[in-house]
Structure formats: C-alpha cells, structure tokens
Chain A
Amino acid sequence: MAEFEALLEIADDHLILGHRISEWCGHAPMLEEDLALPNMGLDLIGTARTLYDHAGKLEGKGRSEDDLAYLRDEREYRNCLLVERPNEDFAHTMLRQFYFAAFMRPYWLAALDSTDETVRGVAGKAEKEMAYHIRHAGEWVIRMGDGTDESAARMRDAVEALHIYVDELFDSSDAAQEAEAAGVLPLRDALRTTWDRTVAEVFAEALLAQPEAAYAQRGGRQGIHNETLGHLLAEMQVVHRAHPGARW
C-alpha cells in the first residue's frame, strides 16, 4: 500500500497545481499567458491522471482516476502545501510554478531509473515538460524581479510568502520512504542541491535574495491543509458530485 499512498502524494501535487493555474484561464494579463498557463496546467493534470490510474490499480479496490480526484475530501488529499497556495498575483503564481518545476525536473530525471515501468513512462514525458516550466516561469521571475519597482516589490513579496513552504517538498512521508527504499521513487532529500542551484541562478539574474526560512510550514502529506484547499476542491468536484455517474 505504500506505493499507492506515495503515488497519490505526487498525483495530488500535480492535480492541485494544475487546477490552480487553470484558474488563470481567461484572466491572464496577456493573451500569450492565457495560452501558456492552461497549457502548463494540462501537462500537470495529464501527469496526475496517469498516476491516479496507476495508483488505483495498485490499490486494487476498483477506484478510477475520477474516483480518486473527485471523491476524496480535503483531509484525504496528500499534496504539499506549496501547490495549494492561492494564485494571488502573477508574481506569486510564477514563483510557485518555478519552485515546483525546479523540484520536479530533477525528481523525474531520477525517476527514469524507477523499478516501476509506469513511473518510468511518466518520468520520460514529464522531465521534458518540467524543463519548459522551469524556463517559462524562471523567465518571469527574472523579468519581474529585475523589472519595475512595482514588479520587483511584488516578486519580493512572493518570495517572502512562499519560502516557508519549500522545505516540505524535500520531506518523504513514511509511504514515500518505503517506495524510495524499494527503488520505485527517487529520494526527495537528495534533490536539494540541484534545487538550490537552479533557484540561486535565477535569483541572481532576478536580483532577488533567498531568505533564510525562520521555520517551515508542513502538514500537507498528513492531510492538514490550509483552508484554501477546501475552496479549490469544492469548485473542482462540484459537478462530479452533483451528477454522480453522469456521462457525455
């Protein structure tokens, strides 16, 4: 069951962040971004679907990707807190995306050696997509950080707001540790150096300083979430729950 639970954590990260950035659709500050953000959301949700499908089969209780996405409540969601943070402004959104992609790219690269064939398959696609996300979001972090007084102030606010959620990315739950020991998933802790270097390079160009985290906010992997996740799930799940079994 450890592999099921560990896969669910990653699938939840991707679904929740994918849904979050889809909220920009029709609201982005320019047409190019209105295309880019839902496209990145599609990458994330596509990855989530494959992981849910695989996790459901491993669990063996007949739960489909839809059951896992739409019929679990807040406390059953295992995503890290970073991905559920609200969009706030464009600086928060792009920094969150950059932090996540900077973690997931080396994660999927390491997962190319997984003992699980589906994980290897997902990793092969996702590492390339994450390279795009790093570049796209990273360019925005630089443009805003080294931009106008207003954009730089907003990016500094985003750094201030989000840095307490970074450490949780590198935590492995009990289930994840089991899956890591079995060679199914990569060691999260080992990715810190790569993440630090990616962020340091972009921050140097963006004229941003990386603050020392006074403390780290954790809890997502235990199902302890910020109240914002409940609102997201309500919107995401309402149609499925209001019309159970509906097809079109």
Chain B
Amino acid sequence: MTVCWQGSAEAAWEAAAAVPDPEVPCVTVAELGILRWVRVDNGVAVAGVTPTYSGCPAVLAIELAVEAALRDAGFEARIERLLSPPWTTDWISEDGREKLREYGIAPPEKSSGSIRSLFGEVTVPCPKCASTDTEKLSEFGSTACKAHYRCRACAEPFDYFKCI
C-alpha cells in the first residue's frame, strides 16, 4: 500500500529543498535544480538527485546531506541518482540566480542550448558592479562548474557559473 498524503510529501520536499549546496552554500539544492523531486512511498521519502558534472566531487556530500535532512524531518530516506535528463544550468531558478549574484558569482547565461554560450562567447556582467567590461582569466575555476573572470571596471576577480 502506498501512503502518500499531501502533508507528508510537502514536508519531505521542504526538508530536502532547504539543504544548501556544499560548494555554493548561498543557494539550496532545489534552487540549483539538483534536487528534482521527492516522493513518499510507505513512509519512505525518496529524493531524486542529479549531478551537475560527471565527476562533481560534491555529489556524494549532497546526497548524504539530503538524506540526513529527510531523516531529521522524521522520514526513512533513500536517494535516487538521476543521470537523465542531464542537468543544465537552465534549471537554476530565478531566485537562485539572484542569490548567486549577491554572493559574488555571476550566474550562467541562458540558455545552455546555444552554441555561443557553450563555447564561452558570451558577455558576463560583473556580479559586483554590473559592468560588462570583463575578461575570462581561466576556463576552469575553483570548482568544476565555474570559470574564473576579472572585471576591468572595478578590478575585482569573480567566479562565473559556467553554462552547460
């Protein structure tokens, strides 16, 4: 028998959705679009989690944190790792983008489908002063999902959430 009343599924979603990303703690796993869904079957909360990059070392930490949050909320918990459809930066919510910017990380350009953004031919506005006079310092930044940029206007270096 499947017990799935509205209240419990919502409580499970809220508990899981509040987990911050371990590498970008200003946003939650739900805002990043990594947490795809939570369903409750027979009192077991099952969370669908998708990795950002194939080798993202934070995947396990995220799965453990989501599992722990569900347990704290009183559920038995299980994680399902979802490969398909592949995560894309288009799944980052508007709130998430704004929080990234406030945190000093330039959010990814929409949309990932465009070959221009995939090949980095985009203008990345500075998250601090909003100038578009910026330059790429390195294709690869502090984590797999970011590139490193510098603002020529305010001279601040900053991370850019790469568009995939």
Q: Does A124 contact B (CB under 8 A)?
A: yes
Q: Name the distance in Å between B140's Cβ and chain A's nearest Cβ.
A: 4
Q: Name the distance in Å between B20's Cβ and chain A's nearest Cβ.
A: 21
Q: Name the distance in Å between B122's Cβ and chain A's nearest Cβ.
A: 13
Q: Quick one: given A122-B54, A131-B119, are A32 and B84 in contact (CB under 8 Å)? A: no
Q: Does A160 contact B (CB under 8 A)?
A: no
**Alpha-carbon gap, A242 to B71, bound state (A):** 36
Interface size counted on chain A using CB atoms at 8 A: 29
The answer on a CB contact under 8 Å between B84 and A117 is yes
**Alpha-carbon gap, A125 to B118, bound state (A):** 13
- Which of B2-10, B61-69, B141-149 forms part of the interface with chain A? B141-149
Q: Which residues of B contact A192 (CB under 8 A)?
A: none
**Alpha-carbon gap, A135 to B140, bound state (A):** 12
Q: Name the distance in Å between A200's Cβ and chain B's nearest Cβ.
A: 18
Q: Does A218 contact B (CB under 8 A)?
A: no
Task: Among A35, A36, A46, point to the contact of B54 (Cβ < 8 A).
Answer: A46
Q: Which residues of A contact B54 (CB under 8 A)?
A: 42-44, 46-47, 50, 122, 125-126, 129
Q: Which 9 A-B pairs have the closest CB atoms?
A: A46-B55, A121-B83, A42-B55, A46-B54, A121-B84, A124-B86, A32-B138, A36-B140, A39-B140
Contacts beyond the supplied A35-B148, A43-B144: 10 A-B pairs with Cβ under 8 Å: A41-B55, A44-B55, A46-B55, A124-B83, A125-B86, A128-B86, A128-B118, A131-B118, A135-B120, A136-B139
- Could you show 24 A-B contacts with beta carbons less than 8 Å apart? A32-B140, A32-B148, A35-B138, A35-B140, A35-B141, A35-B148, A41-B55, A42-B57, A43-B144, A45-B55, A46-B54, A46-B55, A46-B56, A50-B83, A122-B83, A124-B83, A124-B85, A125-B53, A125-B54, A125-B83, A128-B86, A128-B118, A131-B118, A136-B139
